[in-house]
Amino acid sequence: MEIPMVAIPVRCPQCGAVGLSEFPVMVVAVALVKWNNMCLYAPCHAGGWDASQEEIDAIRRHLGHEWIREHGQAFFRPHAANVTYLRKIPATQESGVKLGALRGLN
């Protein structure tokens, strides 16, 4: 299975070259929707760096609100199967499931 990629513009902090670098769609969506941070790399030099707020803003402008909304929702909406399964579990200790174990799933 091939991982979907998206190209975003980056400026190398070492030589100043501007180019497109490919990142997994999931990484970019999570970085923009949840973390507001991501590690960037440029193909001209080995190594990476943490994106500045200006770089994050430039990535947001490049991808656009619709792309971010569409891909962010795809990775953060609950899956129907998980929601159905969780509703069938009684909220008691007799079920054999510790109540605290379910907190990280919603």
Domains identified in the chain, total number: 1
Q: What does the pLDDT read at residue 75?
A: 67
- The residues facing 13 across adjacent strands are none
* Per-residue pLDDT in tens (0 to 9) along the chain, 106 residues: 798 999 998 999 989 999 899 999 999 999 998 888 999 998 888 889 999 999 999 999 999 999 888 888 876 665 544 444 444 444 444 444 444 444 444 4
Which residue in the block uniquely carries the two structure tokens 């299975």?
Answer: 1
Three-state secondary structure string covering 33-90: HHHCCCEEECCCCCCEEECCHHHHHHHHHHHHHHHHHHHHHHHHCCCHHHHHHHHHCC
Residue 73 is assigned to a structural domain of this protein: yes
Q: What does the pLDDT read at residue 44?
A: 87
Range of the domain at 46: 5-77
Residue 66 is assigned to a structural domain of this protein: yes
Structural contact between residues 29 and 71, judged by C-beta atoms closer than 8 angstroms: yes
